[in-house]
Every structure is written in C-alpha cells, then in structure tokens.
Amino acid sequence: MAKLSEPEILERMATAKGWERHGDMLIHSWQFPSFRRALEFVNQVAALAEKYDHHPDIILSYRQVRLELSTHSEGGLTATDFSFASEINVLPTDR
Ligand SMILES: C[C@H](O)[C@H](O)[C@H]1CNC2=NC(N)=NC(=O)C2=N1
C-alpha cells in the first residue's frame, strides 16, 4: 500500500469525518459515558485492527479514547488509513 501524495491526502480528508490530520497521522478522540463503554469501543477497534492487519495507536484515558492512524511500514498515510477511519466512523460511540 503506497504512501499517498499530498493532493491525495487532501482529497481524502474531505471524507474522513471527525478526523484531524497531524502530519503523517489521522487523529480522532471520543468521550464515552463510562470507562466500560470506552473499553468496549477499544475492543471493537482492536477487532477491526486484527481483521485488516492494520493497527492504530490506541490511547485510553478513563472515559476518553484517542486513535492515531498511520501506516508505519510506509512512513506516512495510505489508503488503508482512510478506509480504516471510515470503518471506525460507523462503530457506535454514544451508547
Ligand atoms: C506484517 C504486517 O502486515 C505488518 O506488520 C503490519 C501490521 N499492522 C500495521 N499497522 C499499521 N498501522 N502500520 C503498519 O505498517 C502495520 N504493519
């Protein structure tokens, strides 16, 4: 999976709702009603990570979850990061 060019990244950012770009990373944070809910969400993300063999950095702080997506092997953002972001965006986050 090739590293995306700057124009390709900018084009895809328009569809990555809620995600912020920080250099070579896509970042999104969520606040959940409880630690249990935050952990459930992390477990769903972990299942996707294993399914797609693509593993975001996951920061769980009490009720808050922050995900950082990047393709380490390419040293940048690839199409996989953007498809992964879309998959995460359809997970329930306000249950
Ligand atoms: C062999 C396996 O495909 C690689 O180690 C994968 C696993 N998950 C990964 N996840 C992410 N985010 N970047 C990678 O480069 C990566 N490499």
- Reported ipTM: the value is 0.90
Least Cα distance to 67 among 11, 3, 22 occurs for 22
Please, are residues 7 and 15 in contact by the beta-carbon 8 Å criterion?
A: no
**Cα(78) to centroid of ligand 1, in Å?**
12
pLDDT value, residue 34: 97
- Strand partners for 29: 66
Place of tokens 């390709």: 8
Tell me if 71 CB under 6 Å of ligand 1. Answer: yes
| Residue 92: per-residue pLDDT | 87
At residue 66 the predicted structure's pLDDT band, cuts being 50, 70 and 90, is: very high
Kindly list the domain boundaries of the chain, sorted by start residue. Answer: 6-89
Q: Homologous superfamily of 6-89 in CATH?
A: Transcriptional coactivator/pterin dehydratase (3.30.1360.20)
pLDDT at position 95 is 53
Distance (angstroms) between ligand 1 centre and the Cα of 28 equals 19
Phi/psi at 31 (nearest 5 deg)? -115, 130
pLDDT tops 90 at residue 71: yes
- 25-54 pLDDT tens trace: 999 999 999 999 999 999 999 999 999 999
